[in-house]
C-alpha cells in the first residue's frame, strides 16, 4: 500500500505511541531497473501491517518479514534483492534491477 512520506512518518509515530513495535525500511541503493527510487520508505508494525513501498510485489513481503525480526531483536539489517540473487524471480525483481534496503527499529 502506497502512502506519501508524511503519511508514512505519521503512521510510524502513531503506531509507536500506541505501543506497537515499529520498523522503517528505506531504499538506500539501486542498480539498473528498480521499481522505487532511493529514499522510498515502508513502515511496518509488529503485526505485519505496513504503509508505503520499497519495491512492490514479493519484495515487500520479504521486507515485512525481516522487519518483524528487526522489531523483535532491535538489530538493524541491510537487505539486498536482485537478479544475481537466486530468489530474484520469487521476490519480483526479474526486470533486471537490484535494490538495497535498510531496516531499522523505531524507538
Domain that holds residue 30: 5-106
What lies within 8 Å, CB to CB, of 73 at 6+ separation is none
Domain count, the chain: 1
Q: What is the DSSP string of the chain?
A: ----HHHHHHHHHHHHHTT--EEEEEEEEEESS-SS-TT-EEEEETTS-EEE-SS-HHHHHHHHHHHHHHHHH---EEEEEETTSTTHHHHT-TTS-EEEEEEEEE-
pTM: 0.84
Q: What is the pLDDT along the chain (107 residues), one digit of tens a residue?
A: 445 667 898 999 999 999 999 999 999 999 877 788 899 999 999 999 999 999 877 788 999 999 999 999 999 999 998 755 455 555 554 556 789 999 999 98
Amino acid at each position: 500500500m502506497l502512502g506519501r512520506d508524511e503519511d508514512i512518518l505519521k503512521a510510524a509515530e502513531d503506531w509507536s505511541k500506541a505501543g506497537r513495535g515499529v520498523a522503517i525500511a528505506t531504499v538506500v541503493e539501486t542498480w539498473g531497473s528498480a521499481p522505487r527510487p532511493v529514499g522510498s520508505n515502508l513502515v511496518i508494525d509488529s503485526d505485519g501491517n505496513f504503509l508505503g513501498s520499497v519495491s512492490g510485489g514479493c519484495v515487500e513481503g520479504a521486507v515485512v518479514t525481516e522487519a518483524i525480526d528487526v522489531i523483535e531483536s532491535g538489530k538493524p539489517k541491510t537487505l539486498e534483492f536482485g537478479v544475481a540473487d537466486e530468489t530474484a524471480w520469487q521476490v519480483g525483481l526479474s526486470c533486471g534491477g537490484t535494490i538495497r534496503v535498510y531496516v531499522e527499529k523505531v524507538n
